[in-house]
Amino acid sequence: MAAVTERAHAAGLDAADPLAGFRDEFVLGERIYMDGNSLGRLPRRVEERVAALVQEWGERLVTGWHEWIELPARLGDLLAREIVGAQPGEVLVCDSVTVNLYKLAAAALDGRPGVIVTAVDEFPTDRYVLQGLGEVRLLDPDPAADDVAAACAPGDVALVCLSHVNYRSGALADLAGITEAAHDAGALMLWDVCHSAGVVPIDLSGVDLAVGCTYKYLNAGPGAPAFLYMREGLQLELRSPIQGWFGQREQFAMGPAYDPEPGIVRFLAGTPPIVALAAVEPAVELVAEAGVAALREKSVALTAYAIELHDAWLAPLGFELGTPRDAARRGSHVSLRHPEGWRICRALIERADVIPDFRAPDSVRFGLPPLYTRFVDVWDAFDRLRRLVEDEVYLELDPAPGRVT
Amino acid sequence: MAAVTERAHAAGLDAADPLAGFRDEFVLGERIYMDGNSLGRLPRRVEERVAALVQEWGERLVTGWHEWIELPARLGDLLAREIVGAQPGEVLVCDSVTVNLYKLAAAALDGRPGVIVTAVDEFPTDRYVLQGLGEVRLLDPDPAADDVAAACAPGDVALVCLSHVNYRSGALADLAGITEAAHDAGALMLWDVCHSAGVVPIDLSGVDLAVGCTYKYLNAGPGAPAFLYMREGLQLELRSPIQGWFGQREQFAMGPAYDPEPGIVRFLAGTPPIVALAAVEPAVELVAEAGVAALREKSVALTAYAIELHDAWLAPLGFELGTPRDAARRGSHVSLRHPEGWRICRALIERADVIPDFRAPDSVRFGLPPLYTRFVDVWDAFDRLRRLVEDEVYLELDPAPGRVT
């Protein structure tokens, strides 16, 4: 049997991978794609569906709206069942993560005094939106349930908002434990599941609010519509601050006063982008065919393998693992920290045909989406990485930090 | 020379139409499409651009964001120059009309006491959003500048919000006069140009705020991203209530505090839907090639012709013109009011292959987009309409009012 650092070992893991065939569902190229994960690959069926939807617009014209208008709720039910562990009528696909977070957090805070608790390294747009809505109390990175409990005196906190998987470190939060700590303090709990949706099993039962995106592990395309979740029991109490006509009961009666739908649909705002929305359905169906449980199993194996190779090859070169070693505490990307992370990331892209991404100040993120990532991809990427650092190729690049999306 | 009620007259007008060739730019079908105008037709070049963008996603993956991230501002500049009479850096293409109206109105009202003035028949989502933001004072339909002045005691009003072209009646507002009346009262002026963008020359110089859509006369597809305008002089003062990361200065520094861009970009919120956004560019370029001035000239001729046929054929059958007779006071759709408007509209769609739309309580709207509508289309549609009413075909349909999008 091949040693873990031999390519044959990776090839053996691929040969035994029951999900290996899903790779054929995607448009592939020569480069090793390990963006971590700002944008999933293009599924062939999404390309087809987008083209079909555009044709449908051309042929059906305005009458297409009779079906299109159902898409936000219909796709929400699909996500509820297959991806986030919610009930029908608890999820909508609409707007961006930012706008959805704003709608839900503003609704939660309306008439509910108290501070907002989040983490100091929460994803930027989440922190910025929350800063605009009230006083924010910042926890240290990757808080445990006890940390949340310690930060929440009963009655003192209105809302706790955290990411299920941290965008930088890849740490996976204790969703159930933290939700319970928030509830014990009388606060509502809002989860951002952008970096877990489609790759980590999620169970939102008992959770109050959640937002997520469809362009990472769900592969619905750049800036594809986001989603929001609200548990059924809150839907009559909370109101969207954006009183749009798509949330109006009897929308086309166009009556004089805003009278929101008595369900999740009240959290729609304006006319949704149908071409972008239509792409979500085949993308999510593809993930559902593989199954999130099976994807999680492969994802854990991929990240574990990356950590093994890091320990063998990269730690001696000055890298530090930024992601938890405990598989139960990490998502599907691995962050490798290095003082020269920026240049190393650029060198991988420009000189080695490997695409990871960079998150300030020092993290090179390797996203390992199990639907289309092979173990040999991990081996090849890390082999190129170690040689590029050993040979100091990265020193040839401009050291100035810039933007890596 | 043929009488106005003879089809040959319409054919003669088409033969002399300098814009007639633009019809070939669109995907056409057998039906006469006069939706008024919830959704423009599909331009062939948009179909091509969408397919190209999806391929670009598949090939460039996350690196495509280096260009995509500029789209909201770049397309905004295109709209500013070609469609809405604004300066570079004053327009963004993003989000929905509803979300944009919310962002701008909330920003305008922050720290600016006073009521909001709008019209009783303003488009529903506009009224609902404004109701959520403050006390709303309602003007009678289609207010003149004097009506606005009379409703605004100085210092009493914070914001005036009206549609440039009324979605139901098709009435075209006195944009400059009403803006001046609002300013005289110390209020900011926000125009909704959804029903005028691309078909009526717009000059936003001096206007404070505006929103509009790209899916009507700009033909960018169902639910295509909307746009917002803010005059340069307000951009440092006003702040978006939705403090999203796309409005953050040095977005990818991901710093601790929200620090908005010192320009229009601060009114971006979350990650924009790139596939939908990309469709806007060729769609707007097509309108720009025809030119809004030429489009307006043909639009006025089309609506005048429709009114002539209405007077000759339809008024005797119980129709009433819901649109101003003065060409300077109407947009590009004509509303015909009839007590049986709902059933007549359905009968046109189901029995006569003509697609208008219906707006409660009694308006059948005929949108006449000059880029692809022929004079013979008007003749054919109204000829079928009069015969359908004369023969009482509409009485065969269910009288229950339902939804017509």
Domain ranges of chain B: 7-30+291-396, 46-289
CB contact under 8 A, B241 and A29: no
Share in percent of chain B as helix, strand, coil (round to 5) = 45, 15, 40
Nearest-CA distance B129 → chain A (Å): 5
Nearest residue on chain B to A349, judged by CA atoms? Answer: B63
> What pLDDT does B403 receive?
45
Q: What's domain A46-290's architecture?
A: 3-Layer(aba) Sandwich (3.40)
Contact pairs from chain A to chain B, CB under 8 Å:
266
Contact A96 B269 (CB under 8 A): yes
Q: What is the pLDDT of residues B245-288, one digit of tens each?
A: 999 998 988 888 999 999 999 999 999 999 999 999 999 999 99
Decide if pLDDT at B402 tops 80.
no
pLDDT on residue A401: 60
Query: Is B258 an annotated catalytic residue?
Result: no
Taking only the tens place, the pLDDT of each residue in A147-169 is 999 999 888 999 999 999 999 99
Query: Measured between CA atoms, how close is B403 to chain A, in angstroms?
Result: 6
Look at residue B146 in the predicted model and tell me its pLDDT: 97
Token pair recorded at residue B404 = 């017509």
Compute the mean pLDDT over every residue in chain A, rounded to the nearest whole number. 96
Residue of B131, B226, B275 lying closest to A50 (CB–CB): B275
With CA atoms as reference, the chain A residue closest to B358 would be A252
Q: CA of B268 to nearest chain A CA: how many angstroms apart? A: 10
Taking CB atoms and an 8 Å cutoff, what residues of chain B touch A242? 98-99, 102, 129, 132
Minimum Cα–Cα distance from A36: chain B residue? B62
What is residue B405's predicted lDDT score, i.e. its pLDDT?
A: 39
Sign of the alpha-carbon torsion through B394, B395, B396, B401: positive
| pLDDT tens digits, one per residue of B163-184 | 999 999 999 999 999 999 999 9
Q: Give B167 to chain A, closest Cα distance, Å.
A: 12
CA distance B277 to A72: 19
Between vectors from CA A68 to CA A67 and to CA A74, what angle results, nearest 5°? 85
The pLDDT tens digits of the residues spanning A79-131 come to: 999 999 999 999 999 999 999 999 999 999 999 999 999 999 999 999 999 99
Task: Please write the tens of the pLDDT for every residue from B214-252.
Answer: 999 999 999 999 999 999 999 999 999 999 999 999 898
> Is B215 considered catalytic here?
yes
Residues of chain A neighbouring B38 (CB-CB closer than 8 A): 62, 65
Within B239-291, where are the H helices?
274-278, 280-290
- Among A399, A396, A386, A404, which Cα is nearest to A336's? A386
Residues of A in contact with B166 (CB under 8 A): none
Contact B270 A124 (CB under 8 A): no
Residues B115-151: tens digit of each pLDDT? 999 999 999 999 999 999 999 999 999 999 999 999 9
- From the list A124, A129, A272, the residue facing B254 with the nearest CB is A124
B116 interaction partners in chain A (CB closer than 8 Å): none
- Taking the CA atoms of A301, A304, A308 and A310 in sequence, report the sign of the dihedral they define: positive
Which residue matches tokens 């339902």? B402
A156 assigned to active site: no
- Checking if the pLDDT of B399 tops 80, the result is no
Distance to chain A for B185, nearest Cα, Å:
26
Contact B128 A248 (CB under 8 A): yes
Domain range A7-30+291-396, its CATH number among 3.90.1150.10, 3.40.50.9100, 3.40.50.10240, 3.40.50.880? 3.90.1150.10
Q: Is A208 part of the annotated catalytic residue set? A: no
Share of chain B above pLDDT 90, in %: 93
**H or E segment at A91?**
strand A91-93
Contact B96 A274 (CB under 8 A): no
Structure tokens at B210: 């505006």
Is the CB of A241 less than 8 angstroms away from the CB of B58?
A: no
Fold identical between B7-30+291-396 and B46-289? no
pLDDT at A404: 44
Query: What is the reported pLDDT for B319?
Result: 97
Q: Of B103, B231, B239, B365, which one is the catalytic site residue? A: B365
Q: Catalytic pick from A216, A239, A330, A343?
A: A216
List % helix, strand, coil for chain A (3-state, nearest 5): 45, 15, 40
Told to judge if A239 belongs to the known catalytic residues of this protein, a careful annotator would answer: no
Question: In sequence order, what are the beta bridge partners of B336?
Answer: B321, B364
What is the interface pTM, i.e. ipTM, of the complex?
0.96
B298 burial level (CB within 10 Å; 0-12, 13-18, 19+): buried
Catalytic residue of the set A239, A296, A365, A386: A365
Domain B46-289 has CATH 3.40.140.10: no
pLDDT at residue A398 in the model? 84
Residues in chain B with CB shorter than 8 Å from the CB of A265 are none
Those residues of chain A that have pLDDT short of 70 are 400-405
Band the pLDDT of B155: cuts 50, 70, 90. confident
Residues 6+ away with beta carbon under 8 Å from B112: B158, B159, B188
> How many of the other CB atoms lie within 10 Å of CB of A293?
8
